[in-house]
Amino acid sequence: MNKKEMNFSLVKAIRSIANNQKLDDFTASVVKAGEAEARKAGISTQGQIQIPSQRATVTVNAEGEDVVVTDILDILTPLRAKNVLAQAGAKFMSGLVGDVQVPVMSGNNVGWEGEIAEAKDADPSFSNVKLTPHRLTAYVDISKQMIVQDSVDVENTIRTDLINAINSKLEETILGSGDGKEGGSVVIAPVGMFNTLTAETVADFEDLCTVESDVEDANVLGECKYVMSNKAKAALRGMIKGTNGTGMVFESNAVDGTPAFNTSHVDGKKYIYGDWSNLAIGSWGGIDLTVDPYTKAAAGQIRIVVNAFFDAKILREDAFAAGQIGE
């Protein structure tokens, strides 16, 4: 069979669903590939459009040929680029299938022994952290006038809005203080890091240095970084290092030379310092879209509800320290 490359148009797919029209053969084949990926990952779909998470080859039956989908709605690459947790070094794992056990080892099994002496058991402790897919849902309202356009800029705008909505909810949840139950009795979302970690108040530069040394004493191997609120950044920009005015604590996007990232998704003047490779973020499948032409019909808009499956867990709590800047 012949093989060619084609781009997937999200606008075209949304327009067809909104107008109650049948998807063309190519678009339908892409959606079928997305459905297959979701089934393999062990997740159920709810919308009319399922998009695979990576470039794929689909068979367009009506044309009797294989088509390489070169431009799908890739949420993971731009998500990693935008998400402050990924920028700080969080362990981002995609394409997961079912529940995943991430191994964690504490202690060590390295020591000095004689030439023929038997190595001692240093009592390493092995455990694991389980990642379970949780449905993240967000929505974007777009005008019906925009949907009739075939512009590349319109396509990119809608994709960007969807990615921003996912990233905003993901950051807000992971960097929050929620228990994952979202007001119910069953865990349906990742538990916020500030729910697991206790935020200790720091008043000056010396307190911050103590926090850093406590984390380093836990034998953290990776590079430590800060993730903080915008207000914490502002407070540290006005905090003097030492008593003799040798400069401000926060300068050039760093806390005394340690890389720092700020986001509006951290409350108050809070921060977390640590080795972010000890935060695991998992994703399952691609994305599932529901096209709702009714909810905002009076406003001339179409609501796009996006469902994606994520989880996040701290692997080693002693690799992090949470705090808040005192007055």
Structural contact between residues 139 and 288, judged by C-beta atoms closer than 8 angstroms = no
pLDDT for residue 2: 55
Tokens encoding 116: 């023929």
Q: What is the distance between the alpha carbons of residues 153 and 151, in angstroms, rounded to a whole number?
A: 5
Residue ranges of the chain with per-residue pLDDT less than 70: 1-3, 55-59, 61-74, 105-125, 243-245, 327
What confidence tens digit (pLDDT) does each residue in 206-218 have?
999 999 999 998 8
User: Scanning the structure block, which residue is given the tokens 């731009």?
Assistant: 78
Angstrom distance (rounded) from CA 57 to CA 30: 9
214 torsion bin: left (phi>0), alpha (psi -120 to 50), beta (else): alpha
Cα separation, 197 vs 246, in Å, equals 32
pTM value is 0.85
pLDDT of residue 109: 47
Q: Cα separation of 37 and 51, whole Å?
A: 9
CB distance 152 to 293 below 8 Å? no
| pLDDT at site 274 | 96
Residue pair 108/285 in contact (Cβ under 8 Å)? The answer is: no
Q: Looking up tokens 């499948």, which residue turns up?
A: 285
Predicted local confidence at residue 79, as pLDDT:
81
Beta pairing, strands 320-325 & 199-202: parallel
